Amino acid sequence: MRNIAAIVLAAGKGTRMKSRTPKVLHGIAGRPMLFYPLQLLKELQAGRVLVVVGHGADGIRKAFEGERAEFVLQKEQLGTGHAVMCALKELKGFEGDVLILSGDVPLIKKETLSGLVSLHGKGRRKPVLSLVTTLVDNPAGYGRIVRDEHGHITRIVEDKDASPLQKAIKEVNCGIYLAESAFLSKNIKKIGKNNAQGEYYLPDLVQLAVTQGGRVEALIAGDAVEVMGINNRIELARAEAHMRSRILESLMLSGVTVVDPAATYVDYGVSAGADTVIYPGTRITGKSSIGSGCLIEDNCVIESAEIGDGTVIKSSSVIEDSKIGQGVSIGPFARLRPGSSSGDQARVGNFVEIKKSAIGKGSKANHLSYIGDTTVGEGVNIGAGSITCNYDGVNKYRTVIEDGAFIGSDSQLVAPVKVGKGAYVGSGTTVTKDVPPGALVVTRAPEKVVEGWAERKKKSGGKG
Ligand code: UD1
Ligand code: CA
């Protein structure tokens, strides 16, 4: 498709979304809607890609910074015909075909676009314009495809301009076109705005082609969902569900078990290896990659995390921006905040929170701990209820726990502090000074036993 230039229309306000965010920035499976047509054009290796922006232009530009696409400003949104006219100014001298996509038709598939390209290239008389249509049960809102008695397309009538008879037509325009650039540049200026919305309608090109004796071809897409336009939040949710099942189906075909696809939420771009099992209620987002043979139990949130092979994430754990090794066990109810990592075979148990910390190979923090700004070596045991005190109200400090150290239950490590290799921290200790390797540290008030105290308290009427 290198000889084809593409124009993606994304300047509209998206009034029906009732949102401050431009429509094409609304997310579907973790990416802004506009990402999908742009991704497809990348995969199809289209030539130049021009995105027409207007409403919320700066935000859209920012969201797609670094992409190969060029942005063209349509200052006033005077209609889809006008939007294409703005883009064509940037394509002066270009002689190939121009593919026009809508930024709000995100589910379109590669096969459909290649189908359109081959349809356009076929036949004795090459069409001047080819477009994608589909048949829908409820065509409300779409432009209707009007055909003559021979079945040739003669024009497209927008919903708001359609007569009752035309409104009954179930074949609709999908907003995806392939046009000869000479035809396009000659006719785009001829589009008027004498219609119900007072806009320059791009679909008017059909009638212009027909009156000039040019051929118009249509590819009828079999799957109406794929070519659906997203205009309101109901359609957004439908698109989300559809994209999600596409993602899950591709994971399942590659060997991942998704126990309940209707209740599993995996974003575009997430990868998972064979024989990994994902339980319902789990959401995996961002650039997450899950290894093979992992078990991700119910209701976990995994955001931009890398998880090694054979790791188990037990129920209701939250992992953000962290790197977890192989054969690790996390949760249930564990939280790994951004910047954390865990070596192979480590164990992070229930109600343990880890922030910006590295947990070494085979180390364990199994119950009720807070480990923040800490480097934990290999084979360390952190007992129940032990915490690092990394914040003095002004600054944050680091804790270092060296290999093989043992931190007894209910200890506080007041940072900055270091516990040396193989050292022991007695249960209930508040560590404020570095502990040398192999040492024992205990800060415990001597235990006092008062015999018969309870009996005496009772007798004295509760005075003790
Ligand atoms: C459009 C088509 C309709 C088709 C439907 C398919 C027109 C007039 N109608 O209707 O035949 O059935 O898509 O989904 O084209 N845009 C701009 N600049 C503008 C106006 C719109 O860039 O001035 C962009 C929008 O951001 C959007 C796309 O063009 O991405 C389509 O615009 P929208 O207003 O959603 O058109 P529809 O009413 O859905
Ligand atoms: Ca639309």
Shared domain check, 382 and 286: yes
- Burial class of residue 400 (count of CB atoms within 10 Å of its CB; 0-12, 13-18, 19+): middle
Residue 123's pLDDT is 63
The residue contributing the CA closest to ligand 1 atom 19 is 79
Q: Measured in angstroms, how far is the CA atom of residue 288 from the centroid of ligand 2?
A: 31
- Claim to verify: residue 51 and residue 191 sit in the same structural domain: yes
pLDDT of residue 462: 73
Query: What's the confidence (pLDDT) of residue 142?
Result: 97
Q: How far is the CA of 102 from the centre of ligand 1 (A)?
A: 7
- Cβ atoms within 10 Å of 375's Cβ, excluding its own: 17
pLDDT tens per residue across span 283-323: 999 999 999 999 999 999 999 999 999 999 999 999 999 99
pLDDT tens readout for residues 393-439: 999 999 999 999 999 999 999 999 999 999 999 999 999 999 999 99
Domain for residue 240, yes or no?
no
Q: Is the pLDDT of residue 464 over 60?
A: no
Supply the pLDDT for residue 2.
Answer: 81
Q: Write out the H or E segment, with its range, that includes residue 210.
A: helix 205-211
Tell me, what's the pLDDT at 1? 82
Residues with CB under 6 A from ligand 1: 9-12, 52, 74, 77-80, 82-83, 102-105, 142-143, 156, 158, 172-175, 201-203, 229, 231
> Of ligand 1's atoms, which has the minimum distance to the CA of residue 77?
23
- Identify whether 404 is part of a domain: yes
User: Which of 269, 359, 347 lies closest to 313, judged by CA?
Assistant: 347
Question: Binning pLDDT at 50, 70 and 90, where does residue 124 land?
Answer: low
Whether 216 maps to a domain, the answer reads: yes
Q: 463 falls in which pLDDT band (50, 70, 90)?
A: low
Q: Is residue 397 part of a domain?
A: yes
- Mark which of 227, 247, 264 sits at the end of a domain: 227
* CATH code: domain of residue 284: 2.160.10.10
Beta-carbon count within 10 A of 15 CB = 11
Give the separation between CA 44 and CA 2, rounded to whole angstroms.
Answer: 8
- Do 170 and 297 share a domain, yes or no? no
Is position 283 within any domain? Answer: yes
Q: Examine the domain organization and report whether 58 and 192 are in the same domain.
A: yes
The answer on 272 and 145 residing in a single domain is no
pLDDT, tens only, 180-226? 999 999 999 999 999 999 999 999 999 999 999 999 999 999 999 99
Last-in-domain residue among 227, 248, 277: 227
Average pLDDT over residues 115-121: 94
Q: By percentage, how much of the chain surpasses pLDDT 90?
A: 97
Q: Going by CA atoms, what residue is nearest to atom 13 of ligand 1?
A: 175
To the question of pTM greater than 0.75 for the whole model, the response is yes
Mean pLDDT of 74-94: 96
Among the bound ligands, the one closest to the CA of 11: 1
Q: Which atom of ligand 1 is nearest to the CA of 81?
A: 15
188 with 294, same domain: the answer is no
Catalytic residues: 367
Question: Where residue 125 falls among pLDDT bands split at 50, 70, 90?
Answer: confident
Same domain, yes or no, for 260 and 216?
Answer: no
For residue 83, the CA-to-ligand 2 centroid distance in Å is: 14
- Examine the domain organization and report whether 221 and 282 are in the same domain: no
Q: Which ligand is nearest to the CA of 9?
A: 1
Looking at the domain assignment, is residue 365 inside a domain? yes
Its domain, for residue 152, covers 4-227
> Are residues 296 and 215 both part of a single domain?
no
Q: Is residue 206 part of a domain?
A: yes
pLDDT at 218: 97
- Do 17 and 78 share a domain, yes or no? yes
Tell me what the mean pLDDT of segment 72-76 comes to: 97
Which ligand is nearest to the Cα of residue 227, counting in written order?
Answer: 1
* Domain at 178, CATH number: 3.90.550.10
| Any domain includes 205 | yes
Residues 222 and 332 in one domain: no
Q: How many domains does the chain have?
A: 2
Looking at the structure, do residues 329 and 405 belong to the same domain, yes or no? yes
Which among 330, 331, 323 is positioned nearest to 306, based on CA atoms?
323
- Mean pLDDT (whole number) for 70-89: 97
Comparing CA positions, the residue from 300, 354, 350 lying closest to residue 323 is 354
Residue nearest to atom 1 of ligand 1 (CA): 175
Average pLDDT of the chain to the nearest whole number: 96
How far does the centroid of ligand 1 lie from the alpha carbon of residue 247, in Å? Answer: 27
SS3 405: coil
C-beta of residue 29 within 8 angstroms of C-beta of residue 247? yes
Give me the count of residues in the chain.
464
Does the CA dihedral 421-424-430-435 come out positive or negative? Answer: negative
The mean per-residue pLDDT over the stretch 66-89 comes to 96
pLDDT at 461: 84
